[in-house]
Structure 1
Amino acid sequence: MKMKQGVMWRLIVCVSLLCCSSEAQVTCRNENGAAVDWFIMYKVPKVNSFTGLEYLYIDSTGAPVTENVKPINHHAGVLANTLAPMFGPTTQMPPNFGFISYSDQPPPDKSAGPSYGHSKGVVMMDRSTGVWLLHSTPRFPFSREANNFYPTTGETNAQTFICVTFKYDQFKKIGKHLKHIKMFRFDHHNMDKFPQGLGDVLLNEDPMSQDQTDPTDLIQTLKSAGGRTFLSVAKKVSERRAEGDLYVTIANELQSPVYVQTWGGQACREDSYCQQPGQEVLNIDSVKTELGDWGNGKDHSKWCVTKDQNRKVTCIADSNRARSQFKRPGGALCIKDDNNVKVWDMFNGFIATIEDCPVNGDRGKIVPPPP
């Protein structure tokens, strides 16, 4: 009997350790705390009866969730569950865990110089897996506290988030991307002990000290932990729109015209770009969703979809379409639709009106997208 009890006890301990190990894994998580390979969130602006904390959501399980139960700032919601490993004092974090938070508009109300990328995100990892969370929200994460991580200033406008779980061997490529976009880090822990690409980012405080020659790996293929293919895109820095516009770079790479949503509340927003037939960049003027409709003046998100329905690709990006952005680094993470998950179908369905190609130097007409 004692022997059987001993075997049973060891079995319980082993199962408990396996469960704890699984729960402790650094991964993207849904609002129930379950691990997902990736998710994308489109937070609505504070319009009509909405508080600015609601969002549209899709993840690797396939079915889009259009009515979230927990608001985006909930202490046990999607973002809080995903960021949980970096909440609290760094002295209490495991020795094999590290993170970087980067933003050109870090909390509480600072701003990086124009030589840094107009980029925002979080990287967390251990020696097995990690997450890369790209987003468009200034001052996020506001703090490393579950009850105070989402800034109140992030409620006003629409914002986008994409989180992908990657295995350890992919983070050297991610480090290269962060170096290309010259991200401004405002918080970090232990990342100098991780892959060289990420360590190099931490060592370069001044982006102008980095090599300014044209890198050959601005476009990289990444594999999520679940085997999904993603494309990271970094653009060149140039005053010429054909080179400095991130979305022209994306259209060229994907060999398709693209519809683009970027911040419409800034001065000197660029017109739609139609100088390369078959690779036009057309501004989205307004969106319509199950959670309301709004114009680009209330939308700080950055995303684009291909026009070519034979190449259904969606990119979550960091740059706006303005001349001032052409001279700053920037990038995007792109996902192609497959038979199970329809990100393109979801985002393409949000497009209410677009700005057509300019005619005789005048801004293009506002029209519905072609069917």
Structure 2
Amino acid sequence: MTVSSLWSLSLLLLGPILPLWATGISCINEDGKPVDWYILYKFPKYVGSDVPGSGLEYMFMDALAPTWKRSEYFINMTKSALGQTLQQLYQTYKYKKNNTAYVIYNDGPPNNMNYSWTRGHSKGFLFLDQYQGFWVIHSIPEFPPFPEDGYSYPHTGKYNGQTVICLTFRYDQFAEIDKQLLCYNPNIYNCSIPKAFQLELFNLQMMCAGSEPPPVPWKQRLIQLQSAQGETVFNFAKTHSSHEDIYLDWMAQKLKTDFLIESWHHKGHGLFSNCSLTYHVYNIKQIKIPWNSSFSSYYDHSKWCVSLKPEDRWTCIGDLNYAAQQAKRSGGFVCTQNQFIYKAFRSLVLQYYDCDPSCVYT
């Protein structure tokens, strides 16, 4: 038998040979495939009319298909990208494996636990082994469930729009993420960090154990991270001692771009569009989704911003609102100049407010 025929036989018997990163803990898309990143945007209950939807529909994009696609699943299904990604953590928890680490945090945790005003206004979870893992940042209160409870979606997360970003990282990046989350000061409500991880996840293991973490040596910290497949992202992390607005005072000026901001103004505490500094920020008024529907920012709990000018190409997704009281809360954003992510988010902006609140632009 020739070498080529042996190779063909091995492919037939073993199937497609996946790259090493794709066999590790990763973000999982709706097809059950490992991906470098994905972004999920859940629609609010009211989209385009007074007839409510389920509040569970969403659109989705990932590194393999970087354009918005309306999902055939609901977000509360285990077949959703979010459900399949979390199943990796839940299955590991079920079998009591100690070769992985995870941390789940939310200022509004599930199971009727008290809202945390003293911790960061941040929501997310990470799961990793000593080769690779993922970090999910989202805007959903009371999510995700405790691992022993299995996957579900909270009824409180149905009414408003929500965003989720999942990023796959090699192990060496989590030591930097650990320092960023020290700045976030997250409300950790479930976690497991075995001894083998405690050097790289020093701060998280202290918070996980309920110990007082070390003093934070920064008011704010900006780092560059590389995803498993080399996607460059920047993480802005601010502490509660930094009383600047993260959108206007820091991200817009640091990235040298005017931002269009989508942030929850439901209770009327949001700030106005602001042109007082070199780079400006503008509040989005109306979101247009690609299926001839739109919804008001009033019904959107997501937190993201996108460059006004296409040539700047910045998109940032995180967990802080553009609001006066949020300037005193800790949290952060991940930002990217990925052209596909930028194009997808910029296309959502139907209307936004000028710095004169009486003027609305399309």
| TM-score for both structures, normalised by structure 1 | 0.85
Output the CA distance in 2 between the equivalents of 1:239 and 1:225: 31
CA offset at residue 261 of structure 1? 0.5
Pick which of 280-289 and 49-58 moved more.
49-58
1:285: which partner in 2? 285
**Residue identity in the other structure for 2:246:** D
- CA apart distance, 1:366: 4.5
| 1:367 aligns to 2:348 (yes or no) | no
State the one-letter code of the partner of 2:263: T
Q: Secondary structure at the match of 2:76?
A: coil
Match of 1:348 in 2: 346
2:31 aligned partner, one-letter code: N
Q: Hey, what's the Cα distance between the residues in 2 that align with 1:24 and 1:203?
A: 30
Does 2:134 match 1:136?
no
Give the aligned partner of residue 68 of structure 1. Answer: 71
Q: Measure the CA separation in 2 of the matches of 1:103 and 1:75.
A: 21
**Matched residue SS, 2:147:** coil
Aligned residue for 2:152? 149
Residue 259 of structure 2 contacts residue 281 of structure 2 at CA under 8 Å; is this kept in 1?
A: yes
Give the superposition deviation at 1:110. 2.4
| Distance apart, 1:173 and its partner CA | 0.7
Q: Corresponding residue for 2:34?
A: 35
In the superposition, relative to structure 1, how do residues 142 and 256 fare at CA in structure 2: closer, same or farther (>3 Å)?
Answer: same
Does the CA-based 8 Å contact 1:99-1:190 persist in structure 2?
A: yes
After superposition, give the CA deviation of every residue in 1:122-177 in whole Å (9 maximum; x if it has no partner).
10001111000000000111233686432122111100000000000000111111
Distance 2:217 2:234 in 1: 22
For the pair 1:199 / 2:173, whether they are aligned, the reply is no
Between the aligned partners of 1:144 and 1:76, the Cα distance in structure 2 is 17
- Paired AA for residue 218 in structure 2: D
Counterpart in the other structure of 1:330: 331
Structure 2 distance, partners of 1:192, 1:269, is 43
> Number of aligned pairs?
350
Q: 1:146 to 1:33 in 2, by over 3 A?
A: farther
Percent identity of paired positions between Structure 1 and Structure 2: 30
- Cα deviation digits, residues 10-42 of structure 1 (max 9, x gap): x89x959x88x9886210011111111100111
Distance 1:212 1:168 in 2: 23
- Structure 2 counterpart of 1:256: 257
Q: SS at 2:321's partner residue?
A: coil
CA RMSD between the two structures: 3.0
Partner of 2:3: none
Secondary structure, counterpart of 1:123 in structure 2: strand
2:175 aligns with one of 149, 169, 172: 172
Q: CA deviation at 1:294?
A: 1.1
- Greater mean alpha carbon deviation, residues 108-117 or residues 97-106: 108-117
Does residue 101 in structure 1 map to residue 99 in structure 2? Answer: no
Q: Which runs of 5+ in 2 are unaligned?
A: 1-5
Is the 2:261–2:305 contact (alpha carbons within 8 Å) kept by the matching residues of 1? yes
**Shift, 1:189, TM fit:** 1.5
Say if 2:119 is the partner of 1:116: yes
What is the TM-score with the length of structure 2 in the denominator?
A: 0.87
Asked if residue 211 in structure 1 is aligned to residue 190 in structure 2, the reply is no
CA 1:61–1:91 in 2, change beyond 3 Å: closer, same or farther?
A: closer
Aligned to 1:305: 306
2:203 counterpart letter in structure 1: D
CA contact (8 A) 1:75 1:147 kept: no
Structure 1 stretch displaced more, 201-210 or 222-231 = 201-210
Structure 2 vs 1, CA of residues 124 and 247 (structure 1 numbering), >3 Å: closer, same or farther? farther
Q: Say which SS state the counterpart of residue 294 (structure 2) adopts.
A: strand
Cα drift, residue 66 of structure 1: 2.2
Q: Which runs of 5+ in 1 are unaligned?
A: 1-6, 359-363
Task: Report if the CA contact (8 A) 2:26-2:34 is conserved.
Answer: yes
Query: Is contact 2:353–2:359 with CA below 8 Å preserved after alignment?
Result: yes
> Which SS does the other structure have where 1:218 is aligned?
strand
